[in-house]
Amino acid sequence: MIGNPKIAKLTVSGLAFGYAEQMVQHDVSFEVKTGSIFAVMGVSGCGKSTLLKALIGLLRPSTGSVRFDETNYWSLDDRGREEMGRRFGVLFQGAALWSSMTAEENVALPLEMMLSKLPKAAIDRLVQVKLSLVGLIAGRKARPADLSGGMRQRVGLARALSLDPEILFLDEPSTGLDPISAKRFDDLIVELRDGLGITIVMVSHELPSLFGICDDGIFLDAETQTAIAHGSPKLLRETCVHPTVRAFMNRAQPAEKTNGNGHVAQ
């Protein structure tokens, strides 16, 4: 693992956030260590995606602070926030690709916007590097509608990686994927963390991903509108007594096909 895992990359303190007509969560505090994979968990509608919006600058929290490397993001001016934002990569829920653009055009877009002085050949080269990082060179000329769900998520991931982020925010990256594609996607996330030292904040409902790759996490509750548990998904499964967390962690997982040696068939 690259970086110092003891140092917090992201520190969230007393955060309250919501929309004009509705408060979503309040008093949310947690710390994401450098080079860790941090899970944001909770039932549908509890505010996971809204929390990500408050972390990446799309929604101003009503109170509390979000610190990256100790800098208070929401106390920066517009320019400071924009500069800080270049250090984030985001894979939105459902990948949110531009449907009229090919995979490579989707990945090129942030580069063209942020590095407008770079010649086209250099941008093309960077796009190829990012697509090969996620194993998607073959599908680079295809439009999102012609790609599988797993490939679309990979394009979204390549786009999120386009500006070499220090921290990646992934909103349900493997939801809707078959178990094998989901496992491959999880392996890719771990490779990015181990190989590039990227810190990862991941919203997920997928138990194999949560138990398989997440080091730490937070569980948001829709009813009380705050965090009701902190810790790695495995630890929460074993020790958390809150009925909502228990129901979430202990729901039945789909049976995996094994090859007789206890390994998942590929």
Output 44 or 116, the one with its CB closest to ligand ATP.
Answer: 44
Residue 95: CB minimum distance to ligand ATP, A: 14
Q: How far is the CB of 221 from ligand ATP (least distance, A)?
A: 11
Cα angle value 253/193/5 (rounded, 5°): 105
- At 175, list the tokens: 């939801």
Q: Which residue of the chain is nearest Mg ion when measured via CB?
A: 49
**For the stretch 5-32, what's the b/e string if a residue is b when 16 or more beta carbons lie within 10 angstroms of its beta carbon?**
eeebbbbbeebbbbeeeeebbbebebbb
3-state secondary structure at position 160 = helix
**Amino acid, single-letter form, for residue 104:** E
Q: Are 151 and 97 in contact (CB under 8 A)?
A: no
Is the Cβ of residue 47 or residue 173 nearer to ligand ATP in the bound state?
Answer: 47
Is residue 50 a contact residue for ligand ATP (CB under 6 A)?
A: yes
- At its nearest, how many Å lie between ligand ATP and the CB of residue 64? 16
End-to-end CA distance of the chain: 27
Least distance in Å: CB of 203 to ligand ATP? Answer: 7
46 lies in the site for ligand ATP, by CB under 6 A: yes
For residue 82, the surrounding DSSP H or E stretch is helix 78-85
Site residues (CB under 6 A) for ligand ATP, limited to 89-108? 93
DSSP secondary-structure letter at 249? H
Each residue 92-131 as x (binds Mg ion by CB under 5 A) or -, in order, gives -x--------------------------------------
Part in contact with ligand ATP (CB under 6 A); list of ranges 40-48, 181-189, 193-201, 235-243: 40-48
Taking every pair of C-alpha atoms in the chain, what is the biggest distance, in angstroms? Answer: 58
The contact pattern for Mg ion, residues 40-69, with x = CB under 5 A and - = no contact, is ---------x--------------------
- What is the nearest approach in angstroms of ligand ATP to the Cβ of residue 28? 12
Q: How is residue 200 written in tokens?
A: 């990862």
Please tell me what DSSP assigns to residue 264. B
- The residues that touch Mg ion, with contacts defined as CB under 5 A, are 49, 93
- The residues that touch ligand ATP, with contacts defined as CB under 6 A, are 19, 22, 24, 42, 44-50, 93
